[in-house]
Amino acid sequence: MNIYFSGIGGVGLGPLAEIARDAGHTVRGSDLHESMTTDELRRRGISVSTDQSGSYLEYCHVQERIDWFIYTAALPEDHPELVKARELGIYVAKRDELINHIIKEKNLKLIAVAGTHGKTTTTAMLVWTFRQLGIPVSFSVGSTMSFAPSGYLDPSAEYFVYECDEYDRNFLRFTPDLSLITSIDYDHPDTYPTQRDYADAFTKFLGQSEHAIMWERDTVIDVRPPRKTWRLHDPEVFDFKIPGAHNRANATLIAKACEYLGVGDAVRIKTAVESFPGTARRFEKLADNLYSDYGHHPVEIAATLQLAREVSPHIVLVYQPHQNTRQHQVRSGYTTCMELAEEIFWLPTYKSREDLNLPMLEPQELTARLTNRNVVTYSEMDDSLWEHITWARNNGKLVVCMGAGSIDAWVRERLSQSQ
């Protein structure tokens, strides 16, 4: 098949494009922005255009008929490429339909990693562990990795490991053989208007899973897992020699998954997990005393700062909130989550997929409940902020630049200019 991906540089479609290529399909696509993912795709011989007017899609269709047009949930119904695809009579689908098609086509067993936080790192760590144990594995991970492409289809694999996102109810389109649930809080208010809606979605997902492994503590929001679910208690967390309490908990899920699947022994699993090199944007070291992190929820912020404190006693946080819509939901969580930072630079909220009926929350409103509000400086991504970051690094402080918006690209650009 000839498959076209609109938004091919995204964390969901990028890995899937690589998997489709590995499956023998012809793959091309478009994205408005260049990124580490588009660079990776081009290195693997996949054509990527920044033209999303519909002209490139039509050109490709004329050259060699496009069979499937795959798009992300973020694409509006009036997007020029989506409109053009329908005009041209191309079959239109979202990523879950193509993933299920490939899983069925290749007779793979699906291992889904779901949860509010920690999905990407846990998925990548599971892939790494399988590879260290010599187990062939196909996978899709929502980040770039140093040891493998983001998406890969191994022709000898029995398992497909998938970062199964709850946004747009994506995970409800799958029936996994095994699901790992990292954590359950509340997120994506644009998809789930209430906490009850969110909890019910996870309950349904667990019901669709043949087997699942999760934490007993996550039943506090009334998720009722079926009897086939293995529920772990906090004392069962293994003492892996890796930084971050949340990482040790997620690594325990992986060890339990290996135990359930009957692969590897305790010593080899421990060695594999403890040698995990990490992923991009998850407490990723960019330079001495400078890290980038994707965290954009109070629970994620607290977990990352706890990890950072294991590395250094002096933490400076540069934080870019993500989505004004999301801020209306999570603002009450901005209380103690940043207490481990001795200095905080708070940036304006990055806007994406906004509800225009909601008033814009200003930084001063978002920080009103912070217990350490006295260490907050309201800032912009400019020369002054970079000077503060440089001074902090040079004085032995660990700087974490955090957010799911534009902050990562800005920090990388500034760093390259200064080297």
Let me know: does 3 contact 27? Beta carbons within 8 Å. Answer: yes
Position with higher pLDDT, 401 vs 354? 401
Per cent of the chain over pLDDT 70 is: 98
Name residue, tokens 């054509």. 47
State the average pLDDT over residues 12-26.
Answer: 95
Q: Which CATH superfamily is domain 106-274 in?
A: Mur-like, catalytic domain (3.40.1190.10)
Judged against a pLDDT cut of 70, whether residue 225 lies above it is answered with no
Q: Where are the domains of the chain?
A: 2-94, 106-274, 284-418
Residues in a beta bridge with 228: none
pLDDT at 99: 96
Per-residue confidence band for 173, with pLDDT thresholds at 50, 70 and 90:
very high
Judged against a pLDDT cut of 90, whether residue 229 lies above it is answered with no
pLDDT at 97: 96
Per-residue confidence band for 300, with pLDDT thresholds at 50, 70 and 90:
very high
pLDDT at 267: 96
State the distance between the two ends of the chain, measured CA to CA, in whole angstroms.
45
pLDDT at 228: 82
Per-residue confidence band for 217, with pLDDT thresholds at 50, 70 and 90:
confident
Q: Whole-number mean pLDDT of the chain? A: 94
Position with higher pLDDT, 269 vs 218? 269
Judged against a pLDDT cut of 90, whether residue 219 lies above it is answered with no
Q: What pLDDT, in 10s, does the model give residues 329-343? A: 999 999 999 999 999
335, two tokens:
């209380």
Residue by residue, DSSP assigns 51-79 as --SSHHHHHHHHHS---EEEE-TTS-TT-
Judged against a pLDDT cut of 90, whether residue 282 lies above it is answered with no
Per cent of the chain over pLDDT 90 is: 83
The correct CATH number of 2-94 out of 3.40.50.720, 3.40.50.880, 3.40.50.300, 2.40.50.140 is 3.40.50.720
State the average pLDDT over residues 86-99.
Answer: 96
Q: Which CATH superfamily is domain 284-418 in?
A: Mur ligase, C-terminal domain (3.90.190.20)
pLDDT at 352: 84
Per-residue confidence band for 227, with pLDDT thresholds at 50, 70 and 90:
low
Distance CA 51, CA 331 (A): 37
Alpha-carbon distance values, 183 to 82, 122, 215, 219, 262 (Å):
34, 11, 7, 10, 24
Per-residue confidence band for 224, with pLDDT thresholds at 50, 70 and 90:
low
pLDDT at 223: 58
Q: Of 17-21, 216-220, 285-289, 321-325, where does mean pLDDT reach its minimum?
A: 216-220
pLDDT at 18: 95
- CB-CB neighbours of 259 under 10 Å: 15
Judged against a pLDDT cut of 90, whether residue 417 lies above it is answered with yes
pLDDT at 205: 93
Judged against a pLDDT cut of 70, whether residue 226 lies above it is answered with no
Per-residue confidence band for 238, with pLDDT thresholds at 50, 70 and 90:
very high
Distance CA 334, CA 148 (A): 36
Position with higher pLDDT, 76 vs 385? 385
